[in-house]
Structure 1
Amino acid sequence: MTDTYRARYLPGYLLLVAVPVAATVILLAGLDEPRRAGEGSTATGPSELLPALAVILLVVRLVGAALSRLGQPAVVGEVVAGIVLGPSVLGLLLPDVQEALFPSALLPSLDGLAQLGVVFFMFLVGLELPLDLLRRSGPAAVALAQASTAVPFLCGTAVAAGVLGAYRPEGASSLALVLFVGSAFSITAFPVLSRILGEQRLTRTPLGTLGLATAGIGDVIAWCLLAAVTAVAASASPAPAALSCALVLIYGAVMFLLVRPAFSRLVPRLERAGQPMAAAVMLTTALASAWLTDGIGAHSIFGAFLAGVVMPRNSGVIRKVADRIEGLTNWLMLPVFFAVVGLKLDLPAVGGPRDWAVLVLIVCAASASKIGAVMLFSRWLGRGRREAATLGLMMNCRGVTELIVLQLGLTLGILSQQLFAMLACMALVTTAATGPLLRRLRPDRGRPESNCESMEVQMPTPRHERTT
């Protein structure tokens, strides 16, 4: 690192990473200890499951295809389809039809299938995380990832502490709400971003590589942070929360130091055994890991993510099995997840002018903190205005990852229905805006990126670009 670069790097790091982290700690001081009333319901899904699934798959695919023609990623159309099937549209226009298609007794069955889809999706997210790219990303990507997490987290905690107290559910703690909203503001959807960049042929450019590395590192930071927030929200006192966080760290170390090398030695046997045995091993690992992290006080999604991260990347049989898991997940389970989110999302609950003003504040604060932090730090490191704006827009993409986080908050009793609807709208708006705004900027893909350190890294071929 040159003296000139260090002179730019250190002050920017202090301003956009260290100061927000310190300010967040100060802001959180004095908030009440976490407490939540446990709740749960059990029900069995009736025979209406099959027609409900047929309707979900048809509507999700049709709406997703329609919005894809308008330049939107498929996830935006799928989220919109879920909203159309829920009380916000179908329930408002044709309540009898909505009740006939999705009776209340059916929701637990749909929710169980959706949660299984989330586990498999997070497993694939971990498997697609480009570890080699993250290792070679350099200080710029690491610092940008920290800034894109620290500043939005501070902004989210400030918004939650200042104006969202009225939306806190009964029994939820202020601390859990503030921490959770901060985490929701800091999320970047690495899988959706990689697909958007692939569609615009930016994946293998230096700027696209830097964006993916930054998003990947930010994902790791955000998931670690969310694991801690989940432990706090699920515990009645600080001691169990601290124990859960420690157990998650120990579990992560075990996965990397023991399970990952064991899988590397197991790959030749899996190659000889074929896809059925490889699928059994991979799915068992994902489900067992999800169960273990759920048992130690985090959530199943963290275990599934870790299981994907420790899987070998250079095995042909693992890639083939992953493609098949991705097909089942994307074609069946995630559409059910979007439908479940839509059934829980009640936009009319965002009622009067005050609620809509809060929604606008949430969207503006989440976007400005993400884009602004990355732009400022990028400019500080010497990148051009257009390149800095492009990086900021990349980090503002939240996608399905954000919806998974919000669903977790609703399940834990941290978010009310109103706040869930507001944050889901924020996720939809920021994701929908990413592709069109990136196309409008259209950075010069052939030009050297700046006088900062470049990142000449060989990118792995994204799974959605492979032919099977």
Structure 2
Amino acid sequence: MHMGTTEIFLIAMVIIFSVPYLIWRLGGTDYYAPLVVVQIIAGILLGPGIMGRAFPDYYSFVFNPQVVQSLNGIAWWAVMMFVMIAGVELDLKKAWQHRRESVITAGLALGTPLAFGCVAALGMLGYAGWMGPKAHSWQFVLGVGMACAVTALPILILLMEKLEILRQPIGQRILRYASLDDIAIWGVLAVIMLDWDRVGRQGGFLVAFAFATWLFRKLMVRIEERDRWYVSFIWLAVCAFAADWAGLHYMVGAFLAGAVMDAEWFDQQKMDFLRANVLMAVMPVFFLSTGLRTNWAVGGPAVFVVALVLLVASVSGKLAGIHIAGRILKWGPGEASIIGWLLQTKALIMIIFVNILLDKQIITSETFTALLLMAIGSTMLTVPMVAPKLQRAAQLIFKTS
């Protein structure tokens, strides 16, 4: 029986939503692998490296070029909305109120794993197949290093909600640190993406963006909240287009679009509702499209070895940096360990980050696969490591600084 693209697309959608949900629900994985992590793993399993090898005819039938192109369109818009929301939720006012503590902690939380990751990347340069064809060595090293330093702010929020500390003082402190690092991550990405052949266009984009932001903010404070939602999505599309046209990548534009918005413009419950529904309704398509980009051509064992090295560099670097901050700021026993394990969460933001590096051919699909496995391992470690520590040090939950 012949099937058209529409029918095959819908078969793919059934697979995308049913497989990870059934694994998560029937397998009871929520403690160590929340649904979002299972969706990422399912994306890898459904990709060319696993299902594509096991069932090549079935894989090429379901995930044919027309279906993949349609899925990619949904994935692009889904992740742009998600990144914009992450930008909106940055709270720099509280970081400024506690600037000494925030700058010291965020700086060490980012700088130490960045250094560890750069060292690992320098080791990878000694072997063929890891650096992308359009990358300079410094771009590859800095990109992989920053991937090791990333904290996934949106997933961090979900995990702290699960641990029931998000609205507690320690949760708000951790959000401050992660917010500052989030800005640094996108700033470094903009440096990596800098295209000297289009530097004039990129400079023009930044000037035009500053002026457009001034007009946009004037408009947003004058309209009702229900209109702000519609206008924000128009603003998102315009900023993403302009950034991509300038050579900075549409994700940089999506983050900037959210970062210049004030969270006070929107009802917090509605913002939480939107984030949750974007994560539930459309982000699984992004996870699948990410899985379709994995590659094991260098050899499965090599990819796993590199992933393990990067995981060690990421986790040890983050914990070392936070423990140094704890000594400087004279934190109590156990405090640095809890904060460090929470801030080493990778998942979504790192996956978005390395997708951009892959798009720009700064890393190969083999490096992308290793980084994706590292992100999964990092996120799966978070709750099992933090939950027992919180039980042993319950008083830390209510400590304000």
With the length of structure 2 as denominator, give the TM-score of the two structures: 0.88
Taking structure 1 as reference, are residues 71 and 369 closer, same or farther at Cα in structure 2, changes over 3 Å only?
closer
Taking structure 1 as reference, are residues 136 and 438 closer, same or farther at Cα in structure 2, changes over 3 Å only?
same
- Cα distance between partner residues in 2 of 1:45 and 1:137: 54
One-letter code aligned to 1:54:
V
Taking structure 1 as reference, are residues 215 and 324 closer, same or farther at Cα in structure 2, changes over 3 Å only?
closer
- Cα distance between partner residues in 2 of 1:140 and 1:447: 16
One-letter code aligned to 1:142:
V
2:87 paired with 1:126: yes
Q: Find the counterpart in structure 1 of residue 354 from structure 2.
A: 406
Taking structure 1 as reference, are residues 434 and 255 closer, same or farther at Cα in structure 2, changes over 3 Å only?
farther
Secondary structure of the corresponding residue to residue 349 of structure 1: coil
The aligned runs of 1:37-436 (5 Å cut-off) are 48-65=8-25, 66=27, 68-165=29-126, 166=128, 167-231=130-194, 235=195, 237=196, 240-241=198-199, 243=200, 246-247=203-204, 250=207, 253-254=210-211, 257-266=214-223, 270-271=224-225, 275=226, 277-315=227-265, 320=270, 322=271, 325-326=274-275, 329-346=278-295, 348-349=296-297, 351=299, 353-436=301-384
One-letter code aligned to 1:395:
L
Q: Find the counterpart in structure 2 of residue 25 from structure 1.
A: none
Shift of 1:87: 2.3
Shift of 1:263: 1.6
The aligned runs of 1:431-446 (5 Å cut-off) are 431-442=379-390, 444-446=393-395
- Cα distance between partner residues in 2 of 1:317 and 1:138: 27
One-letter code aligned to 2:375:
A
One-letter code aligned to 1:188:
T
Taking structure 1 as reference, are residues 338 and 152 closer, same or farther at Cα in structure 2, changes over 3 Å only?
same
Shift of 1:183: 1.9
Q: Which has the higher contact order (CA 8 A, sep 6+)?
A: 2
Identity of matched residues, %: 27
How many residue pairs align between the two structures? 394
Contact 1:286-1:304 at 8 Å conserved across structures: yes
- Cα distance between partner residues in 2 of 1:137 and 1:248: 33
Taking structure 1 as reference, are residues 85 and 404 closer, same or farther at Cα in structure 2, changes over 3 Å only?
same
Shift of 1:279: 3.6
- Cα distance between partner residues in 2 of 1:221 and 1:260: 23
Secondary structure of the corresponding residue to residue 306 of structure 1: helix
Contact 2:155-2:345 at 8 Å conserved across structures: yes
One-letter code aligned to 2:99:
G
Please give the root-mean-square deviation of Cα atoms over the aligned residues, in Å: 2.7
Contact 2:84-2:258 at 8 Å conserved across structures: yes
One-letter code aligned to 2:85:
L
Deviations, residues 309-333 of structure 1 (Å, cap 9, x unaligned): 333433456864x466435522332
- Cα distance between partner residues in 2 of 1:99 and 1:48: 11
- Cα distance between partner residues in 1 of 2:279 and 2:344: 23
One-letter code aligned to 1:280:
Y
Shift of 1:46: 6.3
Contact 2:148-2:311 at 8 Å conserved across structures: no
Secondary structure of the corresponding residue to residue 344 of structure 1: coil
Secondary structure of the corresponding residue to residue 248 of structure 2: coil
Deviations, residues 12-53 of structure 1 (Å, cap 9, x unaligned): xxxxxxxxxxxxxxxxxxxxxxxxxxxxxxxx9665222212
Shift of 1:426: 0.7
Shift of 1:261: 4.1
- Cα distance between partner residues in 1 of 2:272 and 2:164: 22
Shift of 1:212: 1.4
Contact 1:45-1:107 at 8 Å conserved across structures: no
Shift of 1:140: 0.8
- Cα distance between partner residues in 1 of 2:209 and 2:325: 30
- Cα distance between partner residues in 2 of 1:185 and 1:150: 10
Shift of 1:438: 0.4
Shift of 1:410: 1.1
Shift of 1:150: 1.6
- Cα distance between partner residues in 1 of 2:397 and 2:79: 39
Shift of 1:94: 2.3
- Cα distance between partner residues in 1 of 2:163 and 2:282: 27
Shift of 1:192: 0.8
One-letter code aligned to 1:371:
L
Deviations, residues 236-290 of structure 1 (Å, cap 9, x unaligned): x4x745x566456546644665433432233xxx24xxx3x44431210111111
Shift of 1:182: 1.9
Taking structure 1 as reference, are residues 287 and 318 closer, same or farther at Cα in structure 2, changes over 3 Å only?
farther
- Identify unmatched segments of 5+ residues in structure 2: none
With the length of structure 1 as denominator, give the TM-score of the two structures: 0.77
Shift of 1:299: 1.6
Shift of 1:119: 0.7
